[in-house]
């Protein structure tokens, strides 16, 4: 559909699951993944304070809006931070990020 994009979740074995995501509902990636039954605790409710929504972006990192100081400060506390780590609650679904691919890195994954 016109207002949909395709996102991919990359699994530890390298396989990827495509997901059709709406861009007209003002959802964050965290909210979308939770809605698709991915195991993201999101204990802070999307305030960049818990890091349980941590993802590592394996494709499309350059399409994301720049990381904020608050987001970076939270990511920097994590033992498994990568060069392309983001908090999925800080990523808004929009047409720019079509094809984005992420690995889930938070608690429970
Ligand atoms: S939901 Fe807590 S940091 Fe993203």
Whole-prediction pTM: 0.95
Is residue 93 one of the residues assigned to a domain?
yes
- Which of 28, 52, 73 is the best mutation target for the ligand 1 pocket, counting ligand atoms within 8 Å of the beta carbon and taking the most? 52
Report which DSSP code applies to 57. Answer: E
Q: Give the residue ranges of the chain where pLDDT is below 70.
A: 1, 107-109
Is residue 33 one of the residues assigned to a domain?
yes
- With a 6 Å cutoff on the Cβ, whether 93 touches ligand 1 is no
Predicted local distance difference test score (pLDDT) of residue 108: 52
Is residue 82 one of the residues assigned to a domain?
yes
Predicted local distance difference test score (pLDDT) of residue 99: 98
Predicted local distance difference test score (pLDDT) of residue 2: 72
- 27 within 8 A of 92, measured Cβ to Cβ: yes
Number of domains in the chain: 1
Looking at the chain, which runs of residues are DSSP E strands?
4-10, 16-22, 54-59, 85-87, 101-104
Is residue 17 one of the residues assigned to a domain?
yes
What residue owns the CA closest to ligand 1's atom 3?
48
Is residue 109 one of the residues assigned to a domain?
no
89 φ/ψ angles, rounded to the nearest 5 degrees: -70, -15
Is residue 49 one of the residues assigned to a domain?
yes
- Return the CATH number at 50: 3.10.20.30
Domain that holds residue 57: 4-104
Is residue 69 one of the residues assigned to a domain?
yes
Ligand 1 centre to CA of 54 (Å) is 7
């Amino acid at each position: 559909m016109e207002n949909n994009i395709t996102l991919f979740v990359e699994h530890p074995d390298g396989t990827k699951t495509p997901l059709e995501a709406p861009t007209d509902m003002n959802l964050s990636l965290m909210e979308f993944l939770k809605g698709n039954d991915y195991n993201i605790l999101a204990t802070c409710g999307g305030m960049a304070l818990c890091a349980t929504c941590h993802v590592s972006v394996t494709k499309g990192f350059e399409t994301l809006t720049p990381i904020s100081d608050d987001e970076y400060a939270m990511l920097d506390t994590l033992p498994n931070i990568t060069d392309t780590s983001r908090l999925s609650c800080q990523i808004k679904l929009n047409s720019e990020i079509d094809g984005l691919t992420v690995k889930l890195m938070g608690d429970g994954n």
